[in-house]
Chains A and B, each alone.
Chain A
Amino acid sequence: NAGVMQNPRHLVRRRGQEARLRCSPMKGHSHVYWYRQLPEEGLKFMVYLQKENIIDESGMPKERFSAEFPKEGPSILRIQQVVRGDSAAYFCASSRTGWSDTQYFGPGTRLTVL
């Protein structure tokens, strides 16, 4: 019974590089949410996706950030030209249905920008 998988678990990038974070939802789940957690803070919603569709990206910065959830393969959160302020833990969560359904979190990717 594999839970939500994320990789890599730790990612170090220099300023200006690109970061790609992957999330594989639980089996049977087709709804993926990405959240960001700054050090010693709560989780902030970034984007909600279903297969091949972005449903809500209201929490995602307009520039440098993008997300996708292709028909085959994991969901990907991409950050271009990273800056120090992007250093955070990025968690994805999945649910079976979207609205008010239980969300299960992955272990997170801890991004450090040097």
Chain B
Amino acid sequence: GENVEQHPSTLSVQEGDSAVIKCTYSDSASNYFPWYKQELGKRPQLIIDIRSNVGEKKDQRIAVTLNKTAKHFSLHITETQPEDSAVYFCAVSDGSSNTGKLIFGQGTTLQVKP
């Protein structure tokens, strides 16, 4: 089945710096790649997603890049702010089942120091 690896597990940056989180996946049939932000005790919130017919997508300070050949995608946050501190999860749609179920990475705890 699909396997998703996410790195790093923790990331600490200074306010204003950029943060990059990477995920790799194994199933070449996967075609949908969302990123979720989860604050402590809260629900996962979609922050950006990309589909396999697109290589890059940007929304203000957040961008996602996808390399289907290498089977990896990355989240980029520029000009980080303390409120960006949270756990970030990448996810991949399960290509083999075509049901839309998501396989999640292990999460990255991002700390933005003021």
Contact = CB atoms under 8 A, between A and B. Distances in A.
B99 interface: yes
B45 A33 contact: no
A55 B44 CA distance: 23
B61 interface: no
Contact of B101 (A41, A42, A56, A91): A56
Interface stretch (A65-73, A78-86, A95-103): A95-103
B31 interface: yes
Contacts, number: 64
B19 interface: no
Contact of A48 (B34, B100, B107): B100
B100 A105 contact: no
Interface residues of A, number: 27
Contact of B49 (A43, A91, A102): A102
A92 to B, nearest CB: 10
B89 A56 contact: no
15 contacts: A35-B104, A41-B106, A42-B105, A43-B102, A44-B104, A45-B94, A48-B101, A55-B99, A56-B101, A91-B43, A98-B100, A99-B99, A101-B100, A102-B34, A108-B43
Instruction: Give 6 closest A-B pairs by Cβ, nearest first.
Output: A100-B32, A42-B104, A98-B100, A56-B99, A105-B43, A43-B104
